[in-house]
Amino acid sequence: MHSRKGQIDRDFALLFAVMLVIAAGNTALQSVLPALGRSLGVADSAVAAAFSVSALLWVVAAPFWARRADRQGRRAMVLLGIWGFTASILVCGLFLMAGINGWIAPVTAFVFFVGGRLIYGMFGAAAPPAVQAIVAARTSRADRTRALALIGSAFGLGTILGPAFAPYLVLGSVGGVEIGLSGPAFMFALVGAVVGLTVMRLLPVQGMGDPAAKGAANSYPSIGGQSSGAAVTAALADAGEQLGYFDPRIRIWTIIGLVAGHAQAMAGQAIGFLIIDRLALAPSAALEPTGIVLMMGAGAALLVQWGIIPILNLSPRALVLWGSLLAAIGCAWIALANGLYPIATGFALASMGFGFVRPGFTAGASLAVGASAQGSVAGKVTSINGAAFVLGPSIGVAMYELWRPLPYGVAAAALLLLLGYALIQFRRA
């Protein structure tokens, strides 16, 4: 019995590491890419587009891999996800290094970088649903929700650790070859390879536990994209009533999720460029302050979701209303900020606000329907959260190129309009 429990604990740690590395590596690359793009002379909008195409592929591929996990084998899908991540970030690092050293033209380097991002979007999405299915199969029904929530928290933790470690992974020259800002990609590729080899060696082929257990598609792991818990609900819910995105019962929550999600994606993607320009920094000198700002934002959002919300026990409506107001104030603050600490404070306020809105949107949509539609609604919530990071980053950076405060001013205005819309709709309801 003790040996069996020890194996389950070891497997859980392995699966947690897979989720953590996939999220941390992606957000680490996001945090250094503004500086990398500036170093290579690539347009800011092209940098944002590289992550938009990756997010688009993830949104499309994630449900496909979730359905395929039971047919192809859950362990195989976990390995496909971690090796897809590793191959992706290695390709990104190699071609960024080639561009930094002048071996190929910057535009060529960035085209191949986008190719690496496509690998991540296509295959990285295979791991999370398979991880969920394995955890669900090896836990009792009473413990399943807690176990899935804990394994899902690896994504949230990764959004903190990725930007936190990235500045320390920038390397100098090795044998006359400048590694520089491509260092984080190589380091996370190494970590991914270690985790992948460990999973291959230690994770047994599935054939035990509850065969009916399943996983669900997860939202794209991105800066500011903390877990909403919808993937856990989708994994636990039985197949039932199918709803459209704008079904009258959830229409208001769909609109809330789309508007707030796009505002959050716009604010998060432009922040690296804003720090470089507002503080007048060389690209290589911007990594540490960027990491500080992103860590403060991620930490503030997690503090809200893991600490403040459970204490205050607010209703979904209150979470949306207060969160929209706080996020609007934070975005407006960033638009006017000129120093590192004002920018960090504004980003933390905005992240706190979004940290209220995301679970409010998730819970509100869930409570709007009966038990038979919970799986469908959870899937819609996950899709909306992921879709926001398809166009949101590109829209935000395109606005930033027009006028630096513009994406934050537009995000603040959209959130205030959303606040007014929600107040009216909630009163009618």
Distances (CA, A) of 265 to 30, 220, 271, 411: 12, 11, 10, 10
Contacts 24+ apart (CB under 8 A), 165-171: 165/24, 165/28, 166/28, 166/29, 166/31, 166/32, 166/287, 166/291, 167/287, 167/288, 167/290, 167/291, 169/28, 170/32, 170/284, 170/287
pLDDT (0 to 100) of residue 209 = 57
pLDDT (0 to 100) of residue 1 = 47
pLDDT (0 to 100) of residue 2 = 47
Q: List residues bridging with 171 in a β-sheet.
A: 180
- What would the 3-class secondary structure string for 158-224 be? HHHHHHHHHHHHCEEEECCEEEECCHHHHHHHHHHHHHHHHHHHHCCCCCCCCCCCCCCCCCCCCCC
Residue found by looking up tokens 């900020």 in the block: 337
Question: With contact defined as beta carbons under 8 Å apart, do 92 and 179 qualify?
Answer: no
| DSSP-based helix, strand, coil % in the chain, nearest 5 | 80, 0, 20
pTM for the whole structure: 0.91
CA distance 429 to 423: 10
Residue 171 phi/psi, 5-degree rounding, is -110, 165
- Mean pLDDT per 10-residue section of the chain, whose length is 429 residues: 65 94 93 91 92 92 83 87 97 95 94 95 93 85 80 83 88 87 96 97 72 77 71 72 87 96 93 96 91 88 87 93 98 96 97 94 91 86 88 94 97 98 91
CA distance 247 to 317: 18
